[in-house]
């Protein structure tokens, strides 16, 4: 990265975006600045698998229970609180949900070149609607006691079987999903993900990122213990913990500082593994070019 024309990159990243990094990280030079920018990208990428598992688990958990309790195409007939008791924002959420289903149907028909009146399979619609649709379903508008066509509170226990009783509450779950959605949107729209909760320092930013990891894991676990086990055994959690560290940030800010020639790496591999502090990263090079990367995990 030392040979990259950093000034040439800035117009394509944008000066205002880079100024956010300059202000918070106080890099000493353009190389360190680019390292901070790339660190944010690696953090976002590390969270993608966790976010994807959460989204898929959430939609399938709701769909499974709603289909069983409310019938096929349940999303067309969800009960809401009486329209007269809905606030303006709640009415907007209900409209958004209806529009999400309509738009999904229309898009699927266009993609499959079906007639405007053709029936679209239920599973296709479920897969097509966005994460925002699923989080919107936890709005208070859909919380209707003693109504057989309502999602909540009737289905909370079956959708979140592992949630503690005190937390099996629509508003609590909604708050967690809204927080995750905000983080997800930052990651998917290439925005800084390290500034959630207005961190006071770099160390604080790291802690908030790790708190976000725990939040996502918690919601996955409430729905599926197996889902949480999957993301842990797949190494996604270890990857997040390695990247969301000061050590990895410094590694990206100072390219070349951890380089080890391949000849030395062969000789010292066992020693390098023993010396691991749990989260460091070492590049293995041949003639100055990176040919491998040694990632240390706990």
The phi and psi torsions of 99 (rounded to 5 degrees) equal -65, -35
C-alpha 161/C-alpha 168 separation (Å) is 9
138, pLDDT greater than 90: yes
Give the mean model confidence (pLDDT) for residues 279-285: 68
Please, which pLDDT band fits residue 256 given cuts at 50, 70 and 90?
A: confident
- pLDDT of 210 reads 98
C-alpha 271/C-alpha 275 separation (Å) is 6
Please write the tens of the pLDDT for every residue from 53-93: 999 999 999 999 999 999 999 999 999 999 999 999 999 99
Sequence spans of domains, the chain = 46-237, 256-295
- pLDDT of 272 reads 62
Peptide bond into 87 cis (omega under 30): no
- Among the listed ranges 57-71, 74-88, 94-108, 256-270, which one has the minimum average pLDDT value? 256-270
Structure tokens at 20: 């956010």
Please, which pLDDT band fits residue 45 given cuts at 50, 70 and 90?
A: very high
CATH numeric code, 256-295: 3.40.1620
C-alpha 119/C-alpha 40 separation (Å) is 43
| N-terminal to C-terminal alpha carbon distance within the chain | 28
> Could you tell me the strand order of the sheet in which 281-286 lies?
260-261, 281-286, 289-295
Query: Across the chain, what does the average pLDDT equal?
Result: 90
Cβ neighbours of residue 46 closer than 8 Å, sequence gap 6 or more: 236, 239, 240, 243, 244
Please, which pLDDT band fits residue 6 given cuts at 50, 70 and 90?
A: low
C-alpha 115/C-alpha 272 separation (Å) is 63
Give the mean model confidence (pLDDT) for residues 12-39: 91
Task: Name the residue with higher pLDDT: 90 or 258.
Answer: 90
**Cβ atoms of residues 78 and 149 within 8 Å:** yes
SS (H, E, C) the chain: CCCCCHHHHHHHHCHHHHHHHHHHHCCCCHHHHHHHHHHHHHHHHHHHHHHHHHHHHHHHHHHHHHHHHHCCCHHHCCCCCCHHHCCHHHHHHHHHHHHHHHHHHHHHHHHHCCCCCCCCCHHHHHHHCCHHHHHHCCCHHHECCCCCCCCECCCHHHHCCCCCHHHCCHHHHHHHHHHHHHHHHHHHCCCCCCCCCCCCCHHHHHHHHHHHHHHHHHHHHHHCHHHHHHHHHCCHHHHHHHHCCHHHHHHHHCCCCCCEEHHHHHHHHHHHHHCCCCCCEEEEEECCEEEEEEECCC
Please write the tens of the pLDDT for every residue from 202-247: 999 999 999 999 999 999 999 999 999 999 999 899 999 999 999 9
Dihedral sign, Cα of residue 64, residue 66, residue 68, residue 74:
negative
Give the mean model confidence (pLDDT) for residues 25-44: 95
Q: Which residue has the tokens 């289909």?
A: 67
């Amino acid at each position: 990265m030392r040979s990259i024309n950093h000034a040439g990159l800035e117009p394509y990243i944008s000066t205002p975006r880079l100024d956010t990094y300059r202000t918070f990280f106080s890099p000493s030079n353009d190389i360190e600045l680019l390292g901070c920018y790339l660190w944010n990208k690696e953090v976002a990428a590390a969270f993608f698998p966790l976010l994807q598992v959460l989204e898929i688990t959430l939609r399938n958990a709701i769909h499974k229970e709603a289909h069983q309790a409310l019938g096929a195409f349940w999303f067309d007939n969800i009960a809401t609180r009486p329209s007269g008791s809905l606030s303006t924002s709640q009415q907007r959420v209900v409209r958004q949900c209806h529009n999400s289903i309509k738009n999904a149907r229309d898009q699927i028909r266009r993609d499959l070149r079906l007639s405007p009146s053709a029936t679209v399979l239920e599973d296709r619609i479920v897969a097509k609607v966005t994460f925002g649709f699923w989080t919107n379903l936890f709005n208070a508008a859909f919380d209707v006691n003693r109504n057989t066509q309502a999602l909540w509170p009737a289905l909370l226990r079956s959708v979140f079987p592992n949630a503690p009783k005190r937390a099996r509450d629509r508003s609590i779950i909604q708050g967690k999903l809204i927080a995750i959605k905000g983080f997800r949107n930052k990651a998917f729209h290439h925005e800084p993900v390290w500034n959630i909760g207005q961190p006071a320092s770099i160390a604080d930013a790291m802690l908030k990122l790790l708190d976000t990891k725990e939040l996502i894991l918690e919601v996955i676990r409430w729905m599926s213990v197996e889902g949480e086990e999957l993301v842990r055994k797949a190494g996604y959690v270890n990857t997040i913990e390695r990247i969301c560290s000061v050590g990895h940030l410094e590694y990206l800010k100072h390219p070349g500082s951890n380089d080890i020639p391949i000849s030395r790496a062969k000789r010292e591999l066992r020693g390098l593994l023993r010396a691991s502090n749990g989260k460091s990263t070492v590049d293995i090079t041949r003639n100055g070019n990176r040919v491998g990367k040694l990632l240390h995990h706990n």
